[in-house]
Amino acid sequence: MKNSLLEKFANVFGDATNCEVYFAPGRVNLIGEHTDYNGGHVFPCALTIGTYAVARKREDHTLRFYSMNFENLGVIQSSIDNLTYKKEDDWTNYPKGVIWALQEKGYNVSNGMDILYFGNIPNGSGLSSSASIEVLTGFVLKQIFNFSYDMIENALIGQYAENKFIGVNCGIMDQFAIAMGKNDNAIFLDTADLSYEYAPVNLSDSKIVIMNTCKKRGLGDSKYNERRAECEEALAELQTVVDIKSLGELTEEQFEQYKDAIKSPIRIKRAKHAVYENQRTIKAVKALNAGNLEELGKLMIASHDSLRDDYEVTGIELDTLVAESLKQPGVIGARMTGAGFGGCAVSIVKTDAIDSFKENVGKAYLEKIGYPCEFYVVEIGNGPSLL
């Protein structure tokens, strides 16, 4: 992989002297969806698939970006002197946003760069290809310019870029999971204060299977920001009767006690999901630590039901994948993962049942939706690295 990337870099940019090759993973969230901007817990893990970059510092201020995933777009050029969001700059707005964010935070990005990217995360799948590029770019700049920030700060820089430069009001989960990934462990993260612990994911005779709806979805133009606004409004209404800073502070019992302060049935549903999903995540980590995969599976299913009925972010494609998964032998649990409205679902499946699982779910999905889905049997990997 390293040699073929260097070869491609030389083809695109003339030669590959003074280059390094870097990697940052994608991520999947096992449970805890739409809780990260509600002050709750999440439980993601980094994957062994992700984004690669070959990068070299230039003598001038020019930025030249190239992606092997969008070769038809060719080299897209910018400058460190004028970093603004431009629709025509397409995917390069993500790395540009990170460089802009570093400048905003007082880091001296003194030179331009030639940088080539290649991702083996399916684009638009909800496995965080954009956050992977952000964290990777932050990691590359840290190495090239000897910046002193740690990996948590790298995650926060990526989130800042996404919020302020791209204009998507995302929480911290994706960038954090990618920056802080650890082999064979998921991250139990409290998004309210960024306290976290690693939890070993021992699936014994089972594996994580990700199912891609193959329905393209863009976070910025989805209902993501709308859901976030609904939760903020519900929180403000709850704060008139209970002293809390976020929905994640409430137990299920407290929510039921105070929910009448929320003046809209829709907002009650949204807030209920945020509260109950946070509690499910806490229970899921306990179940996994106790080796109780069956309980983890039940909580995953309850999570999907809540995302479908209370948060309303699933859609026919994700609902079909999850419903068909749960009919198969050897399936411990399944749920949508990511922002929703397309993207991926995640399931835990007994290893010896995976082949028939893929065949049966794939066939049922094609019949109902009209185009095929994709399956990835994934491993849990580490955070960013220099190859």
Q: Where are the domains of the chain?
A: 2-200
Q: Read off the amino acid at residue 100.
A: W
Reduced to 3 states (helix: H, G, I; strand: E, B; else coil), residue 327 is: coil
What angle, rounded to 10 degrees, do the helices at 265-289 and 224-238 form? 100
Alpha helices in 161-220 (DSSP H): 173-179
pLDDT beyond 80 at 53: yes
* Nearest-angstrom CA–CA distance, 43 and 173: 9
φ and ψ at residue 260, rounded to 5 degrees: -65, -15
**Which positions ≥6 away from 363 have C-beta within 8 Å?**
none
**Tokens in use for 144?**
């090239």
Q: How confident is the model at residue 117 (pLDDT cuts 50, 70, 90)?
A: very high
Share of the chain above pLDDT 90, in %: 90
Q: How confident is the model at residue 220 (pLDDT cuts 50, 70, 90)?
A: very low
**Tokens in use for 383?**
């955070």
pLDDT score for 219: 52
**Which positions ≥6 away from 248 have C-beta within 8 Å?**
35, 38, 39, 40, 41, 190, 191, 192, 274, 275, 278
Which tens digits make up the pLDDT trace of 179-196? 999 999 999 999 999 999
pLDDT score for 332: 97
pLDDT score for 185: 95
The DSSP 8-state label assigned to residue 135 in this structure reads H
Q: Read off the amino acid at residue 41.
A: H
Q: Is 174 a catalytic residue?
A: yes
Q: What is the pTM of this model?
A: 0.91
Q: Pick the residue with more confidence: 221 or 338?
A: 338
pLDDT beyond 80 at 361: yes
CATH topology assigned to domain 2-200: Ribosomal Protein S5; domain 2 (3.30.230)
Q: What is the mean pLDDT of residues 216-244?
A: 85
- Supply the mean pLDDT for the chain: 95
pLDDT beyond 80 at 217: no
Q: Which entry of 89, 174, 190, 310 is annotated as an active-site residue?
A: 174
